[in-house]
Amino acid sequence: MKGLKLSDIRGWSMEELEKKMTEARKSLFDARLKHARRQLENPMKLREIRRDLAKMLTLKKENL
């Protein structure tokens, strides 16, 4: 997930949004573990994943 745009996320169905959110959470967990073990090559990846997840959560809340 590289810098998702809101316009892209808006085109997803709710099922697809839920699936992508699950993937983002797993990716964030894995990145945090790698960061703790100093194996994460790019620490900015954490910020990118968190922001993408926040965008997805925001759009999910808008649609409720």
- The predicted-structure confidence for 8-57, as pLDDT tens digits, reads as follows 999 999 999 999 999 999 999 999 999 999 999 999 999 999 999 999 99
Domain annotation covers residue 2:
no
- Residue 35 located in a structural domain: yes
Q: Is residue 58 one of the residues assigned to a domain?
A: yes
Q: Output the pLDDT for position 2.
A: 67
Question: Is 51 part of a structural domain of the chain?
Answer: yes
pLDDT at 3: 82
pTM: 0.88
- Classify residue 59: in a domain, yes or no: yes
- Long-range contacts (CB closer than 8 Å, 24 or more residues apart) made by 50-58: 52/1, 52/3, 52/4, 52/24, 53/21, 53/24, 53/25, 53/28, 55/4, 55/6, 55/9, 56/4, 56/9, 56/17, 56/20, 56/21, 56/24, 57/21
pLDDT of residue 63: 84
Q: What local confidence, expressed as pLDDT, does residue 1 receive?
A: 46
Which domain, by its residues, includes 22? 12-63
Number of domains in the chain: 1
1 lies in a domain? no
